[in-house]
Amino acid sequence: MEENKFSLKHYLVFFIMPLFSAVFYLKYMKSAERVIGLLMYVFICVIISALLWKAVSVVSSHFDIRKLNVTVITAAALAAIDHLIKLVLSKTGFETSIIGKYLMIKHSHNLNQNGIFNHLNIETSQLTMIFFKAAILAAVICLYKIFKSETARKAYVFVAASALANFLDTLFYGYTLDYVYFYKVMTYDLKDFYVDAGWSVIFMLIFINEIKKSKEKKKVN
């Protein structure tokens, strides 16, 4: 999909990751407050993912995001913003309510450092995490070679930024400082929104690519 085709309707793709995560919490939705918290989580994730995509689109309008150095610099800048926010919060201890108790800035030390395993309540060793991250990196490299459009490169910016931010968390803290609290659902940091934005678009590109392959096979047959 070329960038000029990334229209308003394509922003619906940012529902993919939060809805996927929300599935794991449906069994806990035993009160109206929890449902509100879950809905808050989904819509805030979509809004922030869309805003992040717009921000990187601005960068792409001035520089060729398909060039590796532009991708790396942009990803590094996003990771630095995530780290700077955590540095300020850890130094000041700042916490506040944004929308009542449903959306707050509230500190949470995530020792697991991986959203998927957190959803599944699986404790992981450092060695397991190393292998898991290596597998993710290998998958991203493969996808990087398959999809070369501007849209794909933007998605890789977010994936790379989240990976670098995760490394900085491990290096400086030994854990992830999450701070965007959704009432009785989960607590996010900025790099989690990077993950949502990047992988949502990558999944969309994979889906579109598979449809094209299917159509080409039908034409041949």
Residue-level pLDDT at 207? 87
The beta-carbon contacts of 68-71 under 8 Å, at least 24 apart in sequence, are: 71/153, 71/156, 71/157, 71/160
One digit per residue, pLDDT tens: the chain, 221 residues? Answer: 444 456 677 889 999 999 988 888 888 788 899 899 999 999 999 999 999 999 999 999 899 888 888 988 999 999 999 999 999 999 999 999 999 999 999 998 876 655 555 555 555 565 666 676 667 667 777 777 777 788 888 999 999 899 888 888 877 877 888 999 999 888 999 999 999 999 999 888 888 888 888 888 777 76
C-alpha distance from residue 150 to each of 40, 112, 156, 200 (Å): 31, 33, 10, 15
Give me the residue spans of the domains in the chain.
13-220
- 33-68 in b/e burial notation, b at 16+ Cβ within 10 A? ebbbbbebbbebbbebbbebbeebeebbeeeebbee
